[in-house]
Amino acid sequence: MAEEGQIQTGSSSGSEAVTGPIRRVLLISAGASHSVALLSGNVVCSWGRGEDGQLGHGDAEDRFSPTQLSALDGQEIVSVNSGADHTTAYSESKMQVYSWGWGDFGRLGHGNSSDLFSPQPIKALQGLRIKQIACGDSHCLAVTMDGEVQSWGRNQNGQLGLGTMEDSLVPRKIEAFKISGGWRHTMAVTTDGKLFGWGWNKVHSILSFGFSQSIIL
C-alpha cells in the first residue's frame, strides 16, 4: 500500500513535482514511509509521508510525486540519506550536514528533540569533510575523510557505540571506519578490516554471535 505517496506513481497531491530537463538519479534513499533522491544538477527531491517534516518542504503535507526541495537549491548536495522519519543531506563544498524531520531522541543532531520541517545545518559537524552518512530507524552515524566516526540519536540498545544506553542529542565520536545503521543496531568496519556490530541483537541481527542480548560497545 502507498496511501501517503511513498511509492511514486505519477499522481499529485497538489504540489509541483520535479519538472524541466530529464535528470539522472544519482542517489536514492527510503525511510519508513518517505523517500529522498539526489538528481543530476544537484537537485534534491522528496515524496511520501510528510507529517513529521521528513520531506523538508516546510510543512507537514504528504507529497504524491517527487517534489524539488527548494531549501537545498544551490547547496551543492552530494549525498542524501533517510532514517525512519527523518532525512539528512551533505554539501561537500560547504562541508555541512543538514537534517530535518522527526526530532525525537535527538536523531537530528541539533541538541534537542524538536521536529524540523526544513533542512537545518548540524553545527557539531560543520567544517568536517564527510565520507559517508548512515541512518537507522532513529539514529545516525557519519564518517569523515580522516576516518573519524560520529554517532547521535536513539541509543536504547547501545546502537550508537558509545558504551552506554543513553541517547545522544548531538554527534559524538566513536572508533570505526565504514558504517551502516540498521533499525536498532549498527555495523562498522575498522581501518584494519575488522567487522563489529552492536545494538539490538534479539533476532541475531548482529552477525551470528550465538546469543541474542543487545551488545553495548
Q: Are 75 and 54 in contact, with CB atoms under 8 Å apart? A: no
Tell me, what's the pLDDT at 206? 43
Tell me, what's the pLDDT at 217? 41
- pLDDT band of residue 203 (cuts 50, 70, 90) is very low
Over range 9-24, report the average pLDDT: 65
Tell me, what's the pLDDT at 49? 99
Over range 103-122, report the average pLDDT: 98
- Over 60: is that where the pLDDT of 101 sits? yes
Query: Is 181 or 201 the better-scoring residue by pLDDT?
Result: 181
* Cell numbers standing for residue 205: 541481527
Over range 141-158, report the average pLDDT: 90
Alpha-carbon distance 23 to 75, whole Å? Answer: 18
Beta-carbon contacts of residue 98 (< 8 Å; ≥ 6 apart): 72, 75, 88, 89, 90, 91, 119, 120, 121, 122
Query: Is 72 or 202 the better-scoring residue by pLDDT?
Result: 72
Query: Which of 62-66, 168-172, 203-207 comes out lowest in average pLDDT?
Result: 203-207
Tell me, what's the pLDDT at 3? 60
* Cell numbers standing for residue 195: 567487522
Query: Which of 30-34, 51-55, 76-80, 154-158 comes out lowest in average pLDDT?
Result: 154-158
- pLDDT band of residue 183 (cuts 50, 70, 90) is low
Among positive and negative, which fits the CA dihedral 143, 152, 58, 126? negative
Alpha-carbon distance 4 to 23, whole Å? Answer: 24
pTM: 0.80
Alpha-carbon distance 141 to 56, whole Å? Answer: 20
CA distances from 155 to 15, 65, 99, 104 (A): 36, 34, 18, 12
The residue whose grid cell reads 507537514 is: 60
Tell me, what's the pLDDT at 105? 98
Over range 100-119, report the average pLDDT: 98
